[in-house]
């Protein structure tokens, strides 16, 4: 019952996918209860497989509760490894070894299968994706054999996640990061090999050396889009403005000022697809050196910045996805302004939303958008989580290449 309560609570990304969570004897094993639950929140059916060392740290009852499935901690005459990882209709969709100790890593690389986790991997390797998440003391992770084992495992098609170095330990990445990598591994790749630049968040304009002006954009919509497109196989670079939010995307650079954002987009590499979800500063003040005195009134004269989207179209004929934000306008007016922006800037698509409406503004977790193309067609994506809106926008972008 408890499993049904959380299944697909966050998404259906992993719905119908069966994951074998192989837990070995690292203290990080205590994190696998959270990991198992989070995988289920995205729809996965999780079965835990434990080594003897893992059971000395975490009781199997904890993972049985977390997954809703019987824990495999011993291979019996039922040949559990064949049922889970053999080339059968009931097999797993992914084997996730997390945490993976140095001992287990060495055994897998040497084709030793003397524990339930290593036996599952050995059985699965020819026909099921395998992902390994190392966790150990940093001095152990820096052992020369680790690099050697890693090279062997990668040559076999095994995905290795990079641990997080902290407190002299090679620790597990965050649970959210691991789940993101699992989703990425098991998702369709309809944007495979596409080189994509996503720009997101607000930019700033300095008034003096201690003050600046900006806008209310959070960058959440652009971050969701960057993650969505990387999940679908694209080679994504995310350029983030001044925002406290982070992304799981592999390549992220921060460009906080309008000038730095402009130069990164216009002066950087060429991309197949540009997604301009950035709220770039429309106006620029003349900056004063030092700090302006606060003893009296202050007048700031603003001059307009060049639109990044129009400058980008001058540079490239490739796909450009523009964004148009309006405040408290009618739907017809919103679509009309999106059309005007598309025609003026010769964009491929323009995604329009009304930030003045409840639950659709900057910083929120939900959005509603209209996607406008050069044929006058309009696709409406109704109010939903920004991750779901990102899926809809990515579907539309993918359709341009299908």
Cα–Cα distance for residue pair 304/317, rounded to 1 Å:
25
Q: 136 and 34 in one domain? A: yes
Of all residues in the chain, the percent with pLDDT exceeding 70 is: 99
Helices (H), 49-174: 52-55, 60-67, 80-85, 102-109, 116-124, 138-141, 144-155
pLDDT digits (tens, 9 = 90+) for 47-59: 999 999 999 999 9
Residue 375's CATH number: 3.40.50.10300
Q: 202 and 179 in one domain? A: no
Confidence band of 268 (pLDDT split at 50, 70, 90): confident
Of all residues in the chain, the percent with pLDDT exceeding 90 is: 95
pLDDT digits (tens, 9 = 90+) for 366-399: 999 999 999 999 999 999 999 999 999 999 999 9
Residue 91's CATH number: 3.40.50.1950
Reported pTM: 0.93
Q: What pLDDT sits at residue 361?
A: 80
Phi, psi of 187 (to 5 degrees): -95, 160
Q: What pLDDT sits at residue 1?
A: 47
Cα–Cα distance for residue pair 135/141, rounded to 1 Å:
8
In which domain, by residue range, is 175 found? 2-186
Q: Is the pLDDT of residue 72 over 60?
A: yes
Q: What pLDDT sits at residue 363?
A: 87
pLDDT digits (tens, 9 = 90+) for 176-225: 999 999 999 999 999 999 999 999 999 999 999 999 999 999 999 999 99
Q: What pLDDT sits at residue 2?
A: 62
Residue 393 host element (H or E): helix 386-399
Q: Is the pLDDT of residue 38 over 90?
A: yes
Q: 151 and 126 in one domain? A: yes
Q: Is the pLDDT of residue 39 over 70?
A: yes
Length of the chain: 402
- Does the N-terminal peptide bond of residue 99 adopt cis geometry, omega within 30 degrees of 0? yes
Q: What pLDDT sits at residue 4?
A: 75
Beta strands in 263-312 (DSSP E): 273-279, 283-285, 302-304
Q: 356 and 254 in one domain? A: yes
Q: What pLDDT sits at residue 375?
A: 92
């Amino acid at each position: 019952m408890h499993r049904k309560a959380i299944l697909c609570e966050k998404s259906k990304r992993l719905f119908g996918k069966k994951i074998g969570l192989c837990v070995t004897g690292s203290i990080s094993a205590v994190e696998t209860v959270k990991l198992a639950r989070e995988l289920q929140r995205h729809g996965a059916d999780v079965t835990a497989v434990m080594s003897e060392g893992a059971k000395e740290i975490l009781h199997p009852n904890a993972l049985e509760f977390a997954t809703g499935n019987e824990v495999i901690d011993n291979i019996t005459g039922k040949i559990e490894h064949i049922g889970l990882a053999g080339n059968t209709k009931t097999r797993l969709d992914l084997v996730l070894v997390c945490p993976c100790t140095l001992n287990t890593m060495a055994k897998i690389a040497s084709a030793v299968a003397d524990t339930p986790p290593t036996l599952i991997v050995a059985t699965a390797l020819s026909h099921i994706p395998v992902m390994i998440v190392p966790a150990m003391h940093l001095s152990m992770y820096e052992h020369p054999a680790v690099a050697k084992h890693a090279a062997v495992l990668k040559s076999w098609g095994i995905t290795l996640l990079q641990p997080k170095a902290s407190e002299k330990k090679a620790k597990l990445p965050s649970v959210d990061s691991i789940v993101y990598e699992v989703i990425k591994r098991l998702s369709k790749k309809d944007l495979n090999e596409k080189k994509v630049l996503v720009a997101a968040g607000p930019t700033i304009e300095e008034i003096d050396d201690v003050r600046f002006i900006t806008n209310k954009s959070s960058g959440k919509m652009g971050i969701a889009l960057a993650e969505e497109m990387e999940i679908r196989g694209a080679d994504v670079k995310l350029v983030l403005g001044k925002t406290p939010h982070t992304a799981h995307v592999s390549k992220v650079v921060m460009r906080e000022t309008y000038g730095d954002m402009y130069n990164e987009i216009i002066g950087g590499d060429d991309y197949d697809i540009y997604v301009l979800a950035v709220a770039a500063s429309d106006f620029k003040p003349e900056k004063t050196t030092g700090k302006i005195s606060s003893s009296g009134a202050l007048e700031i004269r603003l001059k307009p910045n060049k639109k990044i989207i129009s400058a980008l179209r001058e540079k490239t004929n490739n796909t450009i996805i523009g964004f148009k934000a309006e405040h408290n306008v009618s739907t017809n007016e919103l679509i009309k302004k999106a059309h005007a922006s598309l025609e003026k800037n010769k964009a491929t698509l323009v995604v329009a939303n009304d930030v003045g409406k409840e639950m659709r503004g900057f910083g929120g977790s939900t959005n509603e958008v209209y996607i406008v193309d050069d044929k006058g067609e309009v696709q409406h994506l109704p109010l939903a989580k920004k991750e779901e809106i990102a899926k809809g926008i990515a579907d539309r972008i993918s359709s341009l290449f299908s």
